[in-house]
Structures are given as C-alpha cells and as structure tokens.
Chain A
C-alpha cells in the first residue's frame, strides 16, 4: 500500500471527481427530458445553463480530478513515496483547481456563463468564469509539476535507468497536457479576460477559436491517454501476463505527443479564415494518430490471446472464452475498448475534410463523444474506481459490490448504446446539436428526423434514463467503498493495485529522451500553425464586441 499522505491526496481528488460526476450526470438526464418536451424548467433555470454544467463538470472536471487521483496513486506506487515538497504542491494543485471549478460553477448557476464549455467568443460570459477556467488549468499545472518533480528525483537517484512504464506514460501525458494548454492559456489570458473585464473593447474571434482548438483536440488525448495507461499497464496484470512489448508501448505514447497537437483545424473545417491548404495539412497530421492507435489495438489483442492460450484456450478463438469475464475490473475495461472501435471509426469520418460537412455540429458529434470520452474513457475510469477507492481506503470490495459493479457497467453500456445510436442516426439525418426542444415550427423535415425506430426522442430519453440509473449505482459503490464497506483485515481481503510487469531489457534508451519528442512536437506545431495564425493576426478584420444572448 502507498503512503498515507498520498492516499489522502488521491482520495480528495476522487471525492471532487465523483461530486462533479453526480451533478454532471443529473444535468444529463434533465437534458434528454427537456428535448423530449416532457420537462419544463422553472423560469430561473435555462436549458443552456444545464448543458454548460453537463459539459464542464463531466468532460473537464470529472476527468481531470480522476486522472490526477490515478496518476498520484500510480506514481507513488511505481516510483516510491512522495517527498514533502511534492506532497505540498500536489495539495496546492488540488485546491487551486477546485477553487477554479467552484468559481466557474457559480458563474454557470448564476446564469452569467451560459456559453458552454467551448465558450466561443463573442459570446461574453462574466470575467470570473474565464478566471475560474484559467485557475483550473493553473491548478493542473501545479499538480503536474509536482509529479514531474517526483519523477526527476527518481531519475537522479536511478541514473541511466529507464523509468517504470507507468511513470513514463504519466510523464508523456503531462508533457502533452502542458504543451496543449499553452493555446487555451494564451487566448484566455490575453484575449478573453481583458475583453470580459472591459480593458479591451473587441476580440479577434477567429484567432480565439483557433487557439481554443489548438488546445481542444489534445484535450481529448489528455482524457484518453490515462485510459490507455490502464489498458497497457493494468489489464495485463488482471490477465496474469506481462506487458506485451515495453518498447512499443512507449513508442505509441511518444507518437501521441507528436500527432495529437498540430491538428486542431479539423474542428474548424467548415469555417472561414483558414485556407484549404492548412486545413488539409492538419487533416493529414490528424490521421497520423491512427498509427499509435493501431499499435495499441494490436498490443491489447496480443495480450488477450497470450493470456487466453496460457489458460488452455485452443483454436483460432478459443482463448477468448478463457478471459476473466467474471472479474468486473477486466470486463468493464474490455467493454470500454469495444466501444472505442466505432468511436475511433466515427472520428475518422469527422476529420475527413469535406466529409465533415455532413456531420459538423449535428447530433452525430454528440453521439461520437459519448462513445469516445463517455464510454471508452469513462468506463475505463469506472473499472479503475472499483479497485482504486478500496485500495486507497483499505476497505474491502465485497461480493455484493462486485455484483453491483456488473449491473452498473451493463446498464451503462445498454443506455449508451441506445442513446448514442439515436444521436448518430439523428445527426446523419441533419438534426443539430446543442439545442433545446425544437420542432422548427413543425417543418416537415424536422418532423421526419424523429420518426424513426431508433431516431426518436423516446430512444434517447430511455437511454439517458438508464445511464442516470447506472451513474447512481456507481455513486453508491463509490460512497460504500469510500466510507462504509468493512475494513480489509486479512491479506486476501486487501484490494491490490494491479500493476503488470514490463520487460524493459530490450527497450532503447532514446525513447526516454524527452527533448527529442518535445523538439519534434514543437517543429510540427510551428509547421502546422505558424503561418495560418500569423495571417489571422496580420489580416484580422475589425474585432467583435461582446454579446450576451442568453
């Protein structure tokens, strides 16, 4: 078990994460009923407030706090206990991030920031909403530097050695995160905050959008890579085997540093101000990320097959039956991976330049990220939660909790399948995203969207309701394992941190030379962004004043 102070820091992160999860999923279920015209909100609450809270609390806050809980636990487990400074800065990071979260949430509830989590200018929220978001980023940076500091101490004490795989992957994710945040920090600090507080009159809208998306795409990799860490380092242990290939796992991760950042224009394919050449160049770079994804898929299935065959599985697919399906820690992550197959394929469609016009800003996109971040990432986090909380509290993960865990992941899968399929189909037919209930004055084509077997409001609402029930079961498991379940007394009752062994004897040392990867990443970013961003600044139209349209 890791040291008590780290356990406390990690548990606090999990507490905040699941508070955000509770409120965020409640906001989600309200939305499907409003869209269904089954629910009228009171006058003081607006659909778009709920939508903003849902996005911010689940996509930004739940993920971020969970990720740091996982990192803190894993770094202490694989590199040893934190020193006093690392602990102090981990706490400061937590409090700063939490302060920012509370500030932004208050602004949303007060109706001062119904601008959604993408906060596109010139919609102008209260300045403190942007300050809150900035503090969230600053807080994560402080926590990140604490972990990097811990890693550097380890490197100094273990000269010439490769770090454990978990630590390597954590540092990769942090490097990715810090480079990615530069864009959003630049726009919030130099564009939004001065403008929102009235120190400048106007804002360069297209520049703010581009800086946001410079951050917005790697943001999704910041969610995904911790899930990948679990897939690479936790899953083999649950299967009783080693990591398939240490060097390829590390190579896949550094490729994410290179190819997840210079790609933000693929979110801006249908907008003016960026020429087709630069859009297409970033589309090509976007697709490069398929390479590490294919490597990961290969590693996963190789791990499954090796494990299944060791347990006596024969024939072409006999190993499949030998996987530990009765272990909720494994089955949850397996389902998460399965969802990522259509999720990734949908992503390829979205980024395909002219094809993007068919789906851009339709409900298809909403369906897409519910089967990427909403299931592969979130359900991996759920699968981790089942053992992470009891591991940290020293409580038991009882048989009853395990059964409930199965109910939870199965209901989540069914709910998500119904809801996201409805959203994908509706989006292909043209139904827009981010809208309250609307029939467009009974226009026949709008009526047509919602007439299908899958494409109707009822399917989405049924899916959303099942998802909410599933979320509440998870909350019950979280509360029980955090505060109520009996303490583990015998070694068999102790919940372990399942960290797989990884054979580093053939791993080349240059993989851990960060300056190589940061250097190439910087070169690619300059190649993809320098000219179009300079053009946006030098040939900017007169800026926009702020608008409060809610």
Chain B
C-alpha cells in the first residue's frame, strides 16, 4: 500500500498529537484525580429513604475540611434541605434517584453528575467563590424536566 510522502507527514503529526493529548488527559485523570463523576456503589431504588446517607439528606460535616452532601433526585425536584456549604473546603456530593434518570448539575462549576436509579453517583468538588449557585437537571425526565432545579449557597 502506497502512502504519499505528505500523507505520512500528516498522519505522523496526527498520531503524535493524539498520543500527547491522550497522555495529558490520562495523567491528569489518574495521577491528579481529575476524573468525572461516577462510583460503583449501588442502592435499592425503592428503599432510598431508609438507606444512609439518604435517610437524612442534606449537608453533613465529616471532618474539619470535608463535608458530605446527600441528595435524592426525583421527578421533578431534589430532596436536599438547607444546602449551605463553605467555600474552600472539599465537598463530596452523593446523589441517587427514586424514579427515573436525572442529572445533578451545578451551574458555573464542573459538577455535572448523571443520577441513575439503583446507583449512587459521587463527585468531590471545592467551591472557590461564595455565592448562590443554580442546580438543575439536564437529563430529560418528563413533563416537568425544565422546572427541576434548586439552589446551593456557598459561604
């Protein structure tokens, strides 16, 4: 098979950039922990309200620098009372659903989590700026999908 000289240069350039690019993404992901939200924990979708930490949704302080926020997503809202967290501390979000698939997305941040019934999605995030952030659902979940939102206050 004959490759034109310029095509060899073009493809080599492409392949080298591909390797460099994937290495940057991979190193950032696995040695600096910049991974997308996820997690392997499961839960019975019909017993969410009886299962910790979702039996007491909301903010819990785990230690001096870490807070956990448990949220139950359901059509068409979030069961998460009193969402107030400090800036500059690690916040671990844990979200699950009692019905269909939703998302838990905090505007102006990298928190963009798919919420799947039967699964617990986890994401760690540190807010830098205090303020009121809009939380919304960006996975279609029914007639009220575009009404599904709440707010988190960072102080």
Contacts and interface: CB of A to CB of B under 8 A. Distances in A.
Interface of A: 46, 48, 114, 116, 120-123, 204-206, 209, 245, 247-248, 251, 268-276, 279-280, 283-284, 287, 290-291, 294-295, 298, 302, 352-358, 360-362, 430, 432-438, 440-441, 443, 445-446, 506-508, 539-545, 547, 549-550
Interface of B: 1-4, 6-7, 10-11, 14-15, 18, 21-22, 25-26, 28-30, 34-46, 75-76, 99-101, 103, 105, 107-108, 110-114, 116-122, 133-134, 136-147, 149, 151
B5 to A, nearest CB: 12
A268 B37 CA distance: 10
Contact of A357 (B15, B36, B146, B149): B36
Given A443-B151, A547-B99, 13 more contacts: A122-B99, A123-B142, A272-B119, A274-B38, A280-B26, A284-B22, A298-B10, A352-B25, A430-B108, A432-B138, A541-B119, A542-B118, A549-B100
Contacts of B14: 290-291, 294
Contacts of B3: 248
A539 B129 CA distance: 39
Contacts of B15: 291
B114 A268 contact: yes
Contact of A298 (B7, B29, B43, B151): B7
Contacts of A205: 101, 116-119
Contact of B38 (A116, A275, A352): A275
Q: Which of B11, B42, B122 has the most CB of A within 10 A?
A: B42
B116 A445 contact: no
15 contacts: A123-B141, A123-B142, A205-B116, A272-B37, A272-B39, A283-B22, A284-B22, A354-B35, A354-B110, A360-B114, A360-B138, A435-B146, A438-B146, A443-B149, A549-B75
B140 A48 contact: yes
A354 B1 contact: no
Contacts of A550: 142-143
A434 B140 contact: yes
A544 B45 contact: yes
Q: Which of B29, B111, B144 has the most CB of A within 10 A?
A: B29
Contacts of B136: 432, 440
Given A358-B110, A434-B145, A542-B46, A291 B11 contact: yes
B108 A445 contact: yes
A275 B38 CA distance: 7
A206 B116 contact: yes
A254 to B, nearest CB: 12
Nearest to B26: A280
